Structure 1
Amino acid sequence: MSMLIANCDHWIGFHIASVLLERSYTVDGIGDENSDLAMFLGRNSSFHFVKSDVSKQYAFAIVIGDQEGSDQFQSGYTLMINPTRKDRVSNRVIINAPLLFGEWMPMNEQGVYCNNSFITFDSDYFQTEAIYIKDFTNGLLQWLKTEELPSHLEVRSEKNKENQHVKLENAIYIRDNRPMEEKVSNVLEHYRMYSNFYENLYV
């Protein structure tokens, strides 16, 4: 199955592309070919860079944020993760994801940078809202196997379910399969191991 990832050089796009390649999908990517994360993807023979005006037919196109020309992608579904624009895209599925965290994200040893805010790992917001990127991508793989997707998906942490006073239509709650502390510890270990690389990513 052939997939298209727009903004594959974004750290979330990188994780999505990586997990699809691990599952033997053929993946085309739109992004900066010279970025460090994109170059990692380029080493895989099942990954290819394409231009935003690509005319190839895809089973799914996955867009991280916004992408010019996403209304022209030829795909069964176009999954748009946290878009800010309201482009008119046929067969569009909006995925409203909460705070995602994982390797290669903008961060330091105390927390994560997201949408011009800094959120510490020990904050109540992070502990109840955050979802580890690999838990999110595992869920995404399941959604791709669904024959008919709704136009909107609201993704939430299972911990947030108890605090949700208003029932969300099309809400999907992702359960932690490992303690949050363990996931944060692994991400911090990765950050310390590749600290110079992180600095180059977000200069």
Structure 2
Amino acid sequence: MNPGAPARIVLGAACLVGLIAAVAVLTGAVRVGSGEPSGPAPSAAAMTAPPVVAPDPTGGTPATVLAVADPVTMDVRLEDGRALRVRALGIQPPEACYSGQALAFARRTLAGRAVTLAGDGHSDRFSRALAWVTLSQGDDYAVLAAEAGVVSSYAADAPAERMPAVRAASERARVAGRGLWGPPCIGGPAGTNAAVSGTPG
């Protein structure tokens, strides 16, 4: 037997094992360093799917309000035809007292109207797209509703720079005793002031 033959056989076997390992890593059969099977690669569509209300460099996403479910929840249609359920940021609806009047205000103010939505692609646990809502004439819906006393200010998820105007409007309504800040919600029968408890909506 050729004296160099065993060394060549061992070297050849080592090369073959290395080649098999390289092919396994390249095909995704083995995750490097873990020894576990790798999961399927994300599809191109999943990696490029747009957020629910994408940021718009011109100041917002135009939409039309199709229906109003409660003082902060509305169904809208975007210009591209998509329908979304939106949760208006900056405000909190009444839980009990004054909830009917608050819903009537929201429907009167929003239903069928053109609005602009400013969001960052986030949604809440109810799958509502979170967005700041502005009416076509430039009126801030959160400020209008807070001024009317049909909602209270609510900063969770809202842009910090927008909240001072909402808080000021809510304070004016409170001082004036308007809406949920007046009778029967405030100073009414026991239990009727649940509307201002501040729990998430």
**Fold shared, TM-score > 0.5 on shorter chain:** no
Counting strand residues as a fraction of each chain, which structure ranks higher? Answer: 1
Which protein has the larger Cα radius of gyration, Structure 1 or Structure 2?
A: 2
State the TM-score, normalizing by the size of structure 2: 0.26
**RCO higher in 1 or 2 (8 Å CA, sep ≥ 6)?**
2
